Amino acid sequence: MSNTPLIAVLAMMLSMMCYQVSASFAKQLIAVLDPLSVTILRLCFASVLVFFMFRSWKILSKLSTLKWRDLLGYSGALGVMNVLFYMSLGKLPQGIAVGLEFIGPLGLALLSIQQRRDYIWVICAILGIALMVPWQQAAQANFSLTGAAFALGAGLCWAFYIYFGHKVVRQNIGMHALTIAISLSAMVLLPIGLVHQPEHLLDSEFWPKALLIAILATAIPYALDLFALKRLTKLSYGTLSSLSPALAALAGLILLHENITLLQWIALGFIMLASIGVTLRASRQDIDHSTT
């Protein structure tokens, strides 16, 4: 980490903070609209943003040659992940929702464990989930088991998003894959939203905040991440990503005045520790493979 340019670290931290601030704003909008409508508005604006950001008109002539099976899986995972995550935000404090969602990609990484000593990270993840839930007082505490199910479902979709993302990468279409995924998700969900709550989507009063959410959750983070990825090692990037649940809790505390218990802070700590441990283990494996 000592050789990592400070500006790249700051860029990534700013990227994660922008995303968590966008989630806080989305939660404020969810208090007025339903989670599906907020998701659709964000995806519609985001699809336009990424289309111009990545100059995705260049891919239009190649659409007929793409492998759509993987792209559809990638797009479906992204769309459902966003819907479930926003549904969880409507029922849980932001830090807890992000912490539980984080179990998805963490679980995917844990599945590749090959050495017994690395099972300590599985134990950390399980402890994190167990401590997150106030089991004896779930009805009285600021905790929703339904919201937890939505967050874990979003995490599962996140794992599928990563899985299909690895397959889509082989098509060598770069960030245009993201444009396709966001646009397809928006096009599929928009008719559902127009039938479900048309007044929410067509009321221009909500559009400026939805556009701000899309900018903070899409345009700024992707631009900063691309900058950081060119200057950070895989280990540094993965370790910094593990801070997301804590940043989510801080954003919820500052912007939404959401307090979570000491035990739940400890739970977030276990989840982040597991993520950092898996990142370190993956880095060691990459070094071992490169030297054999």
pLDDT of residue 136: 54
Number of domains within the chain? 1
> Cα–chain-centroid distance for residue 161?
10
- Which amino acid, 59? I
**Which of the pair, 237 or 194, is modelled with greater confidence?**
194
pLDDT of residue 182: 93
- C-alpha distances in Å from residue 213, one per residue of 21, 44, 103, 239: 8, 11, 24, 26
Q: Is 224 helix (H, G, I), strand (E, B) or coil?
A: helix
Q: How does pLDDT run across 133-165, given as a tens digit for each residue? A: 665 555 555 578 899 899 999 999 988 988 888
What's the whole-model pTM score? 0.82
Phi, psi of 144, deg, nearest 5: -125, 120
Q: Give which of 127, 100, 97, 122 is closest to 111, Cα–Cα.
A: 122
CA angle 21-241-287, nearest 5°?
A: 165
pLDDT of residue 2: 46
pLDDT of residue 1: 43
Query: What CA–CA distance (Å, rounded) separates 78 from 83?
Result: 9
Query: What CA–CA distance (Å, rounded) separates 252 from 264?
Result: 14
Q: Which of 28-42, 53-67, 85-99 ranks highest by mean pLDDT?
A: 28-42
Question: Domain of 173?
Answer: 1-289
Q: Is 187 helix (H, G, I), strand (E, B) or coil?
A: helix
